[in-house]
Each structure stands twice: as C-alpha cells, then as structure tokens.
Structure 1
C-alpha cells in the first residue's frame, strides 16, 4: 500500500502519539518532515535502520526523544538529519560514523545530550554543518574532526566541551572551508575551552543567536 512512499511531509500540524515501528517497512522513503508537531512523543523506532533510501529526516521541535538510535548509522545515504529542540538524551552513537552521506547535522537545544563527541564523526567527510549548541556535550573535541575538509560551520556554543582545540581542527580555518566556528570560550563566562580568536574560533559568545542554528 504505502511501501512505495518516498516523501512524508507532515510538518507544522497537531499530530500526537508515538511514531509507529511500522515506519521501517517504508523502505523507499527518502524525505521525512515531522517538524513542529509538539504532540509527538516517544522515541525514534529502531526500525528506522531499514529505511536505507532515506535522504532527509527532520523531526525538530517535537516531543520525541530518548536515546539516539544506533540503527541510524545504517543510513549511509542520509544527507540531512535535524533533531533540534526535542527531548533526546544520552550520547552520540559511535555507529553514526557510518552515515557517510551526511552533510547537515543539527542537534541543538537538546539539553540532555551528554558525553564526548565521538571520534567517529571524523569519518563523515561530507559534513558541511554541525550544530550542537545548547547541549550537554562535554570532554575534548576529537582531533579527527580535522578530517572534515568540507565543514563550513561548527557550532558548539553553550556546551561543556573543554580543553584546547586540536590544531587539526584549527587548520580547517586556513586549509579548508571552515568559516564559522562558534565555541564556549568567552572569557569570564564559564569558559572551559581554550580557542584562539579569530585564528581558530570565529566567535566565543555564549549568548543565544538565531543565525546558523
């Protein structure tokens, strides 16, 4: 019946309840937008890993949350993943290092996302944008992010990322395409990250900013 469905666009509605596990049967799905349905709850079904044709998954500004499913790492064609302003918690799965087609990753405003950013992110060499502002990610930035030669925006403001920025990442400012590197390094405002401005970071401001989120 719906097994040939390629586009599921239901954003800005009043849908409620949990996402059914049967979504995994829609193996031809390419684009899913469920954004701004605040009544949606529960977790992303683990069967999402069956949707191998998926290119775009947007489920921001909903009540969906819980752990980030490791099964999404099976979506090697996924181009854009938008999960901001929802209820996701826990760590970023190392399995996501297999989403080799990923260009855009937006995780901002999930205040229960925790732990280190995994070194496996450095495998996603097509990434253009990483937005992880206003999360509880911590630890040091993995030097493997220096492999992301296509990266244009890295936003980790209002996180607990600490230490010094690896030289491999700073090199992206001069040797690659990194134009915007926004980090929690503002002097006197809970600064725990050392980052030279403007040679490496482009902004150390910790206040919210709508642009590039």
Structure 2
C-alpha cells in the first residue's frame, strides 16, 4: 500500500486493503491466488520501485513501461525468480545495474531502456542465459562489452545504443549467432 500512497494521479484508487488484490487494476493472479502479472504500463505512476514486491515469487510478468518512476533498482527483486518478462523502460530510474539481478535466470525479456542508469555492464549478468531480449539503450552506461555475455547464446535482440560504451566487440560474442545488436 506504500506504492499506492506515492501516486498523485489516483490511478490505483481500487488498490484497497479490503478488496482482493486479484481485483486490483493491473494485477492478474494464478489459480492459487498468487500474483502472476503486474501490467501498469503508461499509467502515470510516480514514486519508487517497491522493495516489498520481492515477495511476489509467483510473478512472471512485470510491465511498468512509460511511467514516472524514480529511485534505484531494488536488490531485493533478485528474489523474483519466476519473472520471465520485466519492462521498466521509459522511467526515471537511476543508479547501477545490480549483480544480484543475475539470479533472475528465468527472465527472457528485460527492458531498462530510456532511464538514467550508470555504471558498467556486469559480467555476472551472463547468468541470464534464458534471455532473448535485452534492452538497455538510452542510459549512461559506460565501459566495454563483457566477454562473459557470450554465454547468452539464445539472445536475439540486444539494444545498447545511446550509452557511453567503448571498445570493440569481444571475439567470444561470435557464439551469439542470432543476435541483432544495436
């Protein structure tokens, strides 16, 4: 409910404790009543990413694209081990990519583009071997492309443009035979 309290738009007015969370706007639940999807893209949401959402271990999709969310990526979200799709693009998120998020090994799509992220591309993220779409464009990421990311052999789309990356393509990336790199 802290997340609802951060909203100026009134967009989450039906997020009330006396109402079942499965009936809340943007929330889909599974047969056992666990939250499986949070789809609140382009909803004029404010505030920060709630660390308490880390308890949503049945969550498979999170779409918060195109809001006004700020703050940093929560390290606690590394516990969202069922997430397959995470779209946090087009917000005002800041800080660095987190090594803890390398635990999100079920993710196959991640969009963190058009935010204010800094730091480097982390070698630890090579553990994201189920990923086929990685969108990090339009941030302020710097450094070089990690050779370890060649372990992401099924990736087909990796968008890194609009950052401050330097250097050449690591030879190890030749293992990524179907990649569309921007």
- Please state which band the TM-score falls in when normalised by the shorter chain: 0.7 to 0.9
Q: Deviations over 1:167-194 (max 9, x none)?
A: 221331xxx3111111026xxxxx5113
What is the rounded CA distance, in whole Å, between the counterparts of 2:111 and 2:18 in structure 1?
Answer: 27
Which of 86, 89, 112 is equivalent to 2:70? Answer: 89
**Cα distance 1:119–1:74, how it changes in 2: closer, same or farther (>3 A)?**
same
What is the rounded CA distance, in whole Å, between the counterparts of 1:151 and 1:30 in structure 2?
Answer: 31
What is the rounded CA distance, in whole Å, between the counterparts of 2:77 and 2:18 in structure 1?
Answer: 18
- Secondary structure at the aligned position of 1:162 is classed as strand
Q: Does 1:193 align with 2:153?
A: no
- Secondary structure at the aligned position of 2:134 is classed as strand
Partner of 1:70: 51
What is the rounded CA distance, in whole Å, between the counterparts of 2:112 and 2:104 in structure 1?
Answer: 16
Deviation, 1:74, is 0.9
TM-score normalized by the length of structure 2: 0.79
TM-score normalized by the length of structure 1: 0.68
Structure 1 gap ranges (5+): 1-15, 35-51, 186-190, 205-213
**Cα distance 1:24–1:118, how it changes in 2: closer, same or farther (>3 A)?**
farther
What is the rounded CA distance, in whole Å, between the counterparts of 1:24 and 1:124 in structure 2?
Answer: 32
Structure 2 gap ranges (5+): 1-8, 28-32
- Secondary structure at the aligned position of 2:148 is classed as helix
Deviation, 1:19, is 2.5
Partner of 2:4: none
How many residues align structurally?
162
**Cα distance 1:156–1:25, how it changes in 2: closer, same or farther (>3 A)?**
same
Q: Is the 8 A contact 1:31 1:57 kept in 2?
A: no
Tell me which stretches of 4 or more aligned residues in structure 1 moved more than 6 Å.
none
Partner of 2:142: 162
Q: Is the 8 A contact 1:57 1:82 kept in 2?
A: yes
Q: Does 1:114 align with 2:94?
A: yes
Partner of 1:202: 180
Q: Is the 8 A contact 2:127 2:151 kept in 1?
A: no
Which of 84, 104, 116 is equivalent to 2:85? Answer: 104
Q: Deviations over 1:122-173 (max 9, x none)?
A: 101100001111111110122221111110010111111111122221331x
- Secondary structure at the aligned position of 1:17 is classed as coil
Deviation, 1:115, is 0.7
